[in-house]
Amino acid sequence: MSQTTTTPGPLLAPPAGAQSTVTRTAPASTADREIKRRRVLEILDAKGQDSLLLTTHTALTWYLDGSRVHISLAGDPIAALLVDRDGDHLVTFNNEAGRMAAEELPAGVSLHTVPWHGNLHEAAAAVGRSSGPAGSAGTPAGTPLAEAAVATELRAARQQLLPAESARYAHLSGELAGIMTDVLSTARPDTTEFELVSALAGRVVAAGAEPLVLLCNGSSRSDFRHPLATHTPLGRRAMAVVCARRDGLVANITRWVRFDAGTPEELDAESRIAAVEADIFDATVPGARLDRIFGEIKAAYVRHGFGAEQWEQHHQGGPAGYAGRDPRVTAAATDTVVLNQPFTWNPSGPGVKIEDTVQLTESGVKVLTVDDRWPTTTVNGLRRPVTLQL
């Protein structure tokens, strides 16, 4: 394993005579990053440790404040980061170092390299082995705390979005809502599911984001809650779902379109699922525990005529941000809701679902995935999307 600490200098300089092609700079906010580092140091203090090794997409993109640490969307991160009391040390493969330094590295983070065939985690752990006593839990001197050991604490540290990341999230969410309006407005009954999600994917990528989830069901496949697209035509109505990531943050949205007036049963179910969501929003308040909100979700399905078993047919969503759900709400989730925390709840029933990315503010739930061109109705004082009728 070779290891090189890089600073601005020859390793990262472009070849002589070459023109710079850098079109991206790390989005990180210095002010936000200082707060994030302080939060991690508080975790280390509580655990009696001197360093922490971050290895997952969620933790890395949060702590680096929006750096892209992936190549394959389905692959592991191409970087690992050691946070210790002396500073932040990012280790990446040698063939990734130039791009990371030019476009993704926040100020104040030291960059180290390992051969493309090396072990990122071992290299990152080795960065901090030169100093530091053994931890109180009996950890060998210099061995960093594993991310998994403080997963709950890290999740709490990223719950409350900071000003710069809140602005980035709102911008992404608004763009995603606009993309949905643009694409679904052009749909026709003979448009296939693949054609629709292809158009959505193209627009998402053009916006500088990564489409993590693309779902679509036409009227013949409306029973499926997670409908991967097929060559089936949309027919008389359809649902589209997109989860898109930019600068580490993941925005989630579901929209419906139909080509007739809808049946009375469909219109009734759409109204009732929006009422379920409104009850979830009412339960999403500072200090509420997720398991208690989960209880309210189950009760809301019964209250609005869907039956006690509907919550079992699909996950219900939960906190959002640097993961699609962080975490999915269950009876075992005991995290406490805080101000400025983002959420994506997604209650669903037979042939109906509602989903937007929102943020809990001092004035209540604020919907982020908003496009004023999309038709809405008022539900419990909040404008909520209805099916687009073409």
Average pLDDT in the chain: 92
Q: Which domains does the chain have, with CATH numbers?
A: 4-159 (3.40.350.10), 163-389 (3.90.230.10)
Rounded to whole angstroms, the Cα distance separating 109 from 149 reads 23
Taking the model in full, what pTM does it have? 0.91
Q: Are 241 and 201 in contact (CB under 8 A)?
A: no
Question: Could you tell me the pLDDT band of residue 129, with boundaries at 50, 70 and 90?
Answer: low
Q: What is the pLDDT of residues 225-251, one digit of tens each?
A: 999 999 999 999 999 999 999 999 999
Given a cut of 70, whether residue 138 has pLDDT beyond it is no
How far apart are the C-alpha atoms of 303 and 275, rounded to whole Å?
9
Q: Reply yes or no on whether the pLDDT at 118 is more than 60.
A: yes
For tokens 């949309």, the residue is 234
Q: Confidence band (pLDDT; 50, 70, 90) for 21?
A: low
Among the listed residues 195, 5, 28, 14, the one whose alpha carbon sits nearest the alpha carbon of residue 90 = 5
Return all residues near 40 (Cβ < 8 A) that are at least 6 apart.
52, 63, 83, 154, 157
pLDDT score of 13: 35
Q: Which residue has the higher pLDDT, 107 or 15?
A: 107
Mean pLDDT computed over 301-320: 97
Both tokens of 48, joined, read 């009696």
Q: What percent of the chain has pLDDT over 70?
A: 91
- CA angle, residues 86, 40, 109, in degrees to nearest 5: 45
Per-residue confidence band for 140, with pLDDT thresholds at 50, 70 and 90? very low
pLDDT of res. 23: 78
Each residue's pLDDT tens digit, 52-75: 999 999 999 999 999 999 999 999
DSSP string, 276-289: HHHHHHHH--TT-B
Q: Rounded CA gap, 389 and 313, in Å?
A: 27
Q: What would the mean pLDDT of 168-184 be, rounded to a whole number?
A: 98
